Amino acid sequence: MFTRNINCTSAARDRAWFIDYTPFETRLEMPPFMPRPIPVLGIGTVELITKRGKNRHGANAHYTMRLKNVLHAPSLIANILGAPIIQDYEILTDFAHPQKGGIKDKDGQQVAYFHAPAQLLELKLSGPPVGPRLGPSTLGSGGEPTFFSVSWPSSEMERWYAFRTKGSNSQADTYTEAEKRWLKSHYDGEFHFLQTQGLNIHKDEDREEGRSIVRAMMEKDSETQKKLQSKKERRAKRLERSSARKST
């Protein structure tokens, strides 16, 4: 199922979808349908073999889509194709059309299409012998919501990326404690700061650019504070000299 919620990365219920995997406990939130957080057991890469179109046949009828930073959440109602995919693909939706829309790559070639049980956009995957044998869909069977929104809290995203870069030997690859405090004080964290700069926390190059911007902004703040402090000191000295003259 596809969701445009900007705070939601992709998520899968079954560990078997992952081609690489890092155990990491975090959580998803899905109010109001599940007031309690949805536990996440790990994060990794998933490859999906999709059908390019309903009436496409032959070797070129299928496409392999690679999704990074996918959350493993066994208790989800359905697998989720999250908003970060729009950085690499164009998402088209059309509920008036039988195929309900599709996904195009950067060259404008269709790589997948949707159908929409219960008003939810379900990605059409390739079946055997090209793709895996799938169980029955959890959507469209009755009783499921026609809409739900799942989010990965920004604080949890930042915790994951900090964990992932923890082993780096380069100080430039991570924020210092002072930089983290500055981000929290001014923007409520890295995720929201990157949003203000039009950058994506799911892209390493965007996070690197964000760190450079933060350091430049902090340096500018430091220079401004030094100038203000110098101005205060000069003013204090003038007042001191003025008081000394009056006393004499």
What whole-number percentage of the chain has pLDDT above 70?
81
Inform me whether the pLDDT recorded for 170 exceeds 60: no
Tens of pLDDT, residues 173-226: 678 889 989 998 998 888 889 989 888 887 888 888 898 899 888 888 877 777
Q: Where does 73-199 show beta strands of DSSP type E?
A: 90-93, 101-104, 110-115, 122-123
Name the pTM for this structure.
0.69
Mean pLDDT over 61-84 rounds to 88
**Digit-coded pLDDT (tens) for 104-157:** 998 999 999 887 655 677 888 888 888 888 776 666 555 455 556 678 888 898
The tokens for 159 are: 């915790």
- Per-residue pLDDT, averaged over 42-61, amounts to 88
Report the chain's mean pLDDT, rounded to a whole number. 81
Angle between helices 204-247 and 177-187 (to 10 degrees): 90
At 246 the pLDDT is: 67
Average pLDDT over residues 86-91: 85
Q: What's residue 174's pLDDT? A: 78
Look at residue 166 and tell me whether its pLDDT is greater than 80: no
- Is 49's pLDDT higher than 50? yes
CA atoms within 13 Å, Cβ hemisphere of 178:
8
Residue 24 CB partners (closer than 8 Å, separation 6+): 40, 41, 42, 43, 160, 163
Contact 67, 46 (CB under 8 A): yes
